[in-house]
Amino acid sequence: MPFGEQPAYLRVAGDLRRKIADGTLPPHTRLPSQARIRVEYGVSDTVALEARKVLMAEGLVEGRSGSGTYVRERPVPRAVVRTGYRTSGDPSPFRQEQADERATGTWESRSEQEEADAGIAERLRIKEGERVMRTRYLFRVDGEPSMLSTSWEPLSITGRTPVMLPEEGPLGGRGVVERMAAIDLVVDNVVEEVGARPGLAEEMLALGGVPGHTVLVVERTYRAGGRPVETADVVVPADRHRMVYHLPVR
């Protein structure tokens, strides 16, 4: 194959992708069958199958049991606005994760104690196996699942205090900064790293997506005087969200 020339299955996938983009194949339209692709493009069954797999992996089409493969409705991406913690206004977990004031949402959560694995221990700068409070959140915007978040807090810091359970007690649901201030810890630094990976089956089930499709992951850590007091993974489907950062100029 000459340098720069695409394999046949990518050329077929590219043409079908363009038809989806320009509306020739609108949402909910059945994708041409493997046999039709073979005839229309003059390719083999293998090429036709691989082209369909590419579109499915990109999230452009979806299979329906016993019916065929159809063009998916393309969602309008929702902005996940990241501005850092604000001391005024609503410091709830929803606002902590979603700073867009136009968005209204709710959340449900569950907290459990567990032993920190190697990765979480490194992020919290504690020993592997130390006890942490893990809290899982599911956030909804306008009633629809939008975001998952899992946070971990060292029980060496919060254990036996009024803020041990993030969503219970006198400061339940008030956010990390306010809760830590109640035990005389001043959060002065927040670090976020954004990456992408295939969504796990349980994540996409909760979010109403397709397992394996790309998710954005914000790995966030709150620190007080250099000491990590909470770390979390925020997960959103990449095809439904875009990260917007408002960064101050110093």
> Is there a domain that residue 2 lies in?
no
pLDDT of residue 64: 83
* Weakest mean pLDDT among 134-138, 149-153, 236-240, 241-245: 241-245
User: Domain holding 166: CATH number?
Assistant: 3.40.1410.10
User: Do 65 and 106 lie in a common domain?
Assistant: no
CATH number at residue 42: 1.10.10.10
Are 57 and 154 part of one and the same domain?
no
Average pLDDT value for the chain: 87
Q: Which residue range(s) make up the domain with 202?
A: 78-245
What is the reported pTM?
0.74
How many other CB atoms are found less than 10 A from the CB of residue 213? 19
Same-domain check for residues 49 and 143: no
pLDDT band at 62 (very low <50, low <70, confident <90, very high): confident
Residue 1 within a domain: no
Of 71, 90, 120, which residue sits at a domain end?
A: 71
The DSSP secondary-structure symbol of 100 reads: -
82 and 32 in a common domain = no
Closest CA to 216 of 196, 233, 234: 196
C-alpha to C-alpha distances, 130 to 121, 136, 172, 177, nearest whole angstrom: 8, 19, 23, 23
DSSP string, 155-184: HHHHTTSTTSSTTSSTTTTS-HHHHHHTTT
95 and 187 fall within a common domain: yes
Is a pLDDT exceeding 80 seen at residue 89? no
**Claim to verify: residue 84 and residue 199 sit in the same structural domain:** yes
Computed from CA positions of residues 28, 17, 202, 243, in that sequence, does the dihedral angle turn out positive or negative?
A: negative
One domain for residues 154 and 47: no
What sign for the dihedral angle of Cα 122, 128, 132, 134?
A: positive
Q: Do 39 and 99 reside in the same domain of the chain?
A: no
Model confidence band, residue 86 (pLDDT cutoffs 50, 70, 90): low
Per-residue pLDDT of 1-42, as tens digits, reads: 444 468 899 999 999 999 998 999 999 999 999 999 999 999
Domain end residue (candidates: 36, 71, 106): 71
Could you tell me the pLDDT band of residue 49, with boundaries at 50, 70 and 90? very high
Provide the domain count of the chain: 2
In angstroms, the CA 29 to CA 32 distance is: 9
Tell me the pLDDT tens digit for each residue of 102-145: 656 788 999 999 999 999 999 999 999 999 999 999 998 888 89
Residues 54 and 92 in one domain: no
Residues 243/80, Cβ–Cβ less than 8 Å: yes
206 assigned to some structural domain: yes
- What is the pLDDT confidence band of residue 80, given thresholds at 50, 70 and 90? confident
